[in-house]
Amino acid sequence: SQTIHQWPATLVQPVGSPLSLECTVEGTSNPNLYWYRQAAGRGLQLLFYSVGIGQISSEVPQNLSASRPQDRQFILSSKKLLLSDSGFYLCAWSQGQGGYEQYFGPGTRLTVT
Amino acid sequence: KQEVTQIPAALSVPEGENLVLNCSFTDSAIYNLQWFRQDPGKGLTSLLLIQSSQREQTSGRLNASLDKSSGRSTLYIAASQPGDSATYLCAVRRNQFYFGTGTSLTVIP
């Protein structure tokens, strides 16, 4: 069966510090991978998605970036965090395009102080 | 751009009641619609997936319907239980997934 992991679970970082969040998927190959942010009281905002290694599409211009160094690994990064980067970050995967289901990881709670 | 709306934003019901959550979307050109459950501080758990060619899907006490032409879906929960308390989100997929802001459900024992 497929499993999706995210770490760390919680993170408290000062403004201006770097960020690296990691997501890995097990039990599938060549998944589509997604990073979402969920701010308090708001819906999910799609940040990045990837259809393959090294292929990253950005939905929202910001100081975040994403990379996919391996087929089942997706990394969200920032060189300098802003207060507005605080939120709940969720990684998700689906099998290809079309009518496939999307599955989510447990999330990372990021607080920028 | 696809917009997804969920009404009501919050709902409180006594245990045992049947209830309906609503989801509407503006662009009917979708591949599928998915209902999720989110517990506080947790990720999203998939409940039901309805393909664009389907009218409804059922899983246990849950039944989801889809009327693509009118841009609407409903999630019916039968005989609600306190363990059903959570936020319920719907998402529609075309090239990407578009999410509603959710309905926060509280089932009172």
pLDDT over threshold 80, residue A3 = yes
Nearest alpha-carbon partner for B76 in B9, B33, B23, B5: B23
Residue A96 scores a pLDDT above 80: no
- B95 confidence band (pLDDT: 50, 70, 90): confident
Residues of B in contact with A39 (CB under 8 A): none
Quick one: DSSP state of residue B82?
Answer: G
Task: Answer for the pair B105, B86: CB distance below 8 angstroms, yes or no.
Answer: yes
pLDDT of residue B54: 94
Tokens of A24: 């890995």
In the block, tokens 């959550």 appear at B21
Per-residue pLDDT, A39 = 83
Six-digit token string for A38: 């969920």
Residue with tokens 């290809």: A96
Say if the Cβ atoms of A43 and B34 lie within 8 Å: no
For chain A, what is the mean pLDDT? 92
What is the per-residue pLDDT for A1? 80
**pLDDT above 70 covers what percent of chain A?**
96
CB contact under 8 A, B46 and A101: yes
Whether residue A8 has pLDDT greater than 70 = yes
Burial of residue A56 (number of CB atoms within 10 Å: 0-12, 13-18, 19+)? middle
- Nearest CB neighbour to B43, from listed A42, A98, A107: A107
What's the pLDDT score for residue A61? 65
Give the pLDDT confidence score for residue B94 in this predicted structure.
85
Q: Chain-wide mean pLDDT for chain B?
A: 95
The DSSP string of B51-79 is ETT-SEEEETTEEEEEETTTTEEEEEE-S
Q: Which residue of A5, A104, A110 to mutate against B (max B Cβ within 10 Å)?
A: A104
- The phi, psi pair for B83, rounded to 5°, reads -70, -10
pLDDT at B73 over 70: yes
Rounded Cα–Cα distance for residues A68 and A65 (Å) = 11
Other beta carbons within 10 angstroms of residue A53's beta carbon come to 14
pLDDT greater than 90 at residue A78: yes
B44/A106 Cβ within 8 A? no
Mean per-residue pLDDT, A15-34: 95
Note which residues in 12-51 of chain A have CB less than 8 A from chain B.
34, 42-44, 46, 49
pLDDT band at A16 (very low <50, low <70, confident <90, very high): very high
Per residue in A45-70, pLDDT tens? 999 999 999 899 988 767 899 999 99
* pLDDT score for A98: 67
How far off is chain A from B82, nearest CA to CA, in Å? 22
- Contact (CB<8Å) A99/B100: no
pLDDT for A72 beyond 90: yes
